[in-house]
């Protein structure tokens, strides 16, 4: 990835188009995105862990976020589970709450992708067939995931599945419509903030007239891959996925890689700002 970017001198030179105001505003958007993401993950857990605070969980999630750069696949989840188990959270409760947050995050991303594809169709004409296919695929994946999640308690109670204790134990779980609506809303706002951030970065680096909308669509379509940790921190996977989707929408591959790398940097900075604010808040609360 670095080698590819370094060979494209003209595109790298366009990095200078990212002015300080653009970076500051997009950093602020990413800070808000981290807060909404934290809320979407926290809300289902508060049903089982009474008194779990917003900034307390933010600090734990940040620890998992950093561990994810060392231990791929489930490093971040393991950190959250380890801490919450000490707060009395059962493994099945954690699994159910995490599934709820992730499934609704996927549904929110799919809804945003379909909406953005429709708007782009009206504004700039028919999108490439592969982009339409990806949007349809994300929508189908989200509908399937939501359907399986809603049917999971019923399926878990089937006699043939009783030998798997971890699965049969979910037969008594359910999620209220109010909780699901709130988690979906928080996830949708988070995705919208990321959509605008991605789009703004693309628009700053590309002369396309609909760069904001098209660049945001790159994020929305590629977002399901961000939920699967393949490499440490998914480094390289997220960037190349964004670059390939961007290429389908007429963006240069190098521009896509630069946007994705800047987006990752902004996310790390925003997470760090949240840690500073959370640390200050918890320190004030601990004072007698």
* Cα–Cα distance for residue pair 110/69, rounded to 1 Å: 26
pLDDT tens readout for residues 227-286: 777 777 778 888 888 888 888 887 888 888 888 999 999 999 999 999 999 898 888 877
DSSP 208: -
Q: Which two tokens stand for residue 7?
A: 């060979």
* Cα–Cα distance for residue pair 142/191, rounded to 1 Å: 15
Average pLDDT, the chain: 84
Do 88 and 35 form a contact (C-beta atoms < 8 A)? no
Mean pLDDT value of segment 177-192:
95
Mean pLDDT value of segment 138-167:
79
* Cα–Cα distance for residue pair 271/66, rounded to 1 Å: 10
pLDDT tens readout for residues 196-236: 999 999 888 877 767 788 888 889 888 887 777 777 777 88
């Amino acid at each position: 990835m670095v080698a590819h970017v370094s060979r494209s001198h003209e595109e790298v030179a366009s990095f200078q188009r990212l002015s300080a105001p653009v970076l500051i505003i997009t950093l602020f958007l990413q800070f808000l995105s981290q807060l909404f993401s934290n809320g979407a993950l926290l809300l289902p857990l508060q049903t089982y862990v009474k008194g779990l605070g917003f900034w307390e969980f933010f600090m734990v999630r940040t620890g998992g976020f950093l561990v994810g750069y060392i231990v791929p696949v489930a490093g971040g989840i393991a950190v959250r589970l380890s801490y919450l188990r000490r707060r009395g959270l059962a493994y099945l409760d954690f699994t159910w709450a995490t599934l709820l947050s992730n499934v609704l995050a996927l549904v929110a991303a799919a809804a945003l992708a379909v909406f953005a594809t429709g708007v782009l169709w009206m504004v700039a004409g028919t999108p490439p067939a592969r982009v339409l296919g990806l949007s349809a695929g994300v929508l189908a994946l989200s509908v399937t995931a939501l359907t399986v999640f809603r049917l999971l308690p019923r399926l878990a109670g089937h006699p043939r599945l009783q030998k798997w204790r971890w699965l049969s134990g979910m037969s008594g779980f359910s999620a209220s419509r109010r909780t699901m609506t709130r988690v979906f809303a928080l996830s949708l706002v988070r995705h919208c903030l990321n959509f605008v951030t991605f789009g703004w970065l693309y628009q700053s680096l590309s002369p396309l007239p609909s760069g904001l909308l098209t660049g945001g669509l790159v994020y929305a379509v590629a977002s399901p891959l961000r939920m699967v940790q393949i490499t440490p921190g998914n480094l390289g996977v997220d960037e190349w996925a964004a670059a390939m989707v961007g290429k389908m929408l007429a963006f240069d591959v190098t521009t896509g890689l630069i946007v994705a790398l800047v987006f990752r940097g902004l996310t790390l900075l925003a997470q760090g700002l949240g840690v500073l604010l959370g640390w200050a808040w918890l320190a004030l609360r601990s004072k007698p």
